[in-house]
Amino acid sequence: MKKTKSFMSNIIIFGIKYKIKYVNLLSDNYLGWFKPIEQEILIEHTLKGDKRMKTLIHEIGHGVFHTTGLNQTSIGYDLQEIIVENIAQAIVQNFDIKPKK
């Protein structure tokens, strides 16, 4: 059987490389998980298309908050969630995004 290439296996946020792993997160009620210490982004493996891209952009948003120190400010986690989710939603509603080669 031919092995299918995964969608994206790495992403770079401000020069830091994060490995993207497609795993079962639904059982823990997550779609994505930004893990800065492990330098990983976990994405629920059943997500496809816009839902997968929206989740990836959402987690990149968390990466931006982490890398820039915004998560050390008075912006709480709940507000961070609203910001990253709505930016991700607006981007996927308006653009067809594909990974750079």
Chain positions contacting Zn ion, by CB under 5 A: 81
Nearer residue to Zn ion within complex by CB, 38 or 81: 81
Nearer residue to Zn ion within complex by CB, 28 or 81: 81
> Which helix (H) or strand (E) covers residue 79, if one does?
helix 77-94
Measured between alpha carbons, how far is 67 from 3 in angstroms, rounded to an integer?
A: 34
Q: How far apart are CB 50 and Zn ion at their closest, in Å?
A: 17
Left if phi > 0, otherwise alpha if psi is -120 to 50, otherwise beta: which for 90? Answer: alpha
Nearer residue to Zn ion within complex by CB, 4 or 29: 29
Q: How far apart are CB 51 and Zn ion at their closest, in Å?
A: 14
